[in-house]
A = this chain, B = another copy of it.
C-alpha cells in the first residue's frame, strides 16, 4: 500500500467540533493555531486515542507532525459547530499524509484546509517504521484511486 504513484486513500472521516470561548480571540473568530488542534483531534479519532496511548506506553512509538500547510479562507465563530473532514494515505512505512478540512454549517466550501504529514518516531525522536499491525488495521478499508 505505500509509495504508489496514485495512493490508496482512507475513507472520508467526519468529526464535529463545537467552538467555545477558549477557541476565539478578541478579533471575534477562532485563533488560527487552534485549527491545527482540531485537525489533530480528528486524526486521534481516526487512529483511536486508545491505540495511540498503547503505542506510546507499550512500544514508545508516536506520530509527530513533520510538515503542515494550512489555508484559512473564512473566519469561524463562537458557537459554530464545525465539521472536520479527514482522509489520509501512507506515503511510506514511516509517513502518513492527511488531507483535512473544516466546514461551517451550510458552507459552500471549506473554511480551512490543510495537508499535514506525520512521521512515526520513538521517544528519542528517531524515525521508525509503523508497526505492521497498525499499518494493516489502519489501511484495511482503504479505497483504490479511480481507474485502478
Contact = CB atoms under 8 A, between A and B. Distances in A.
Interface of A: 18-22, 24-29, 31-34, 36-37, 40-41, 44, 49-50, 52-53, 56, 62, 64-72, 74-75, 77-79, 123, 125
A58 to B, nearest CB: 13
Contacts of A31: 21-22
Nearest to A41: B20
**Copies of this chain per assembly:** 4
A91 to B, nearest CB: 16
Contacts of A33: 22, 33-34, 36-37, 40
B79 A53 contact: yes
19 contacts: A18-B49, A20-B37, A20-B49, A21-B27, A21-B31, A22-B33, A25-B25, A26-B27, A28-B123, A32-B68, A52-B79, A53-B78, A53-B79, A56-B78, A65-B72, A66-B71, A67-B72, A68-B68, A75-B125
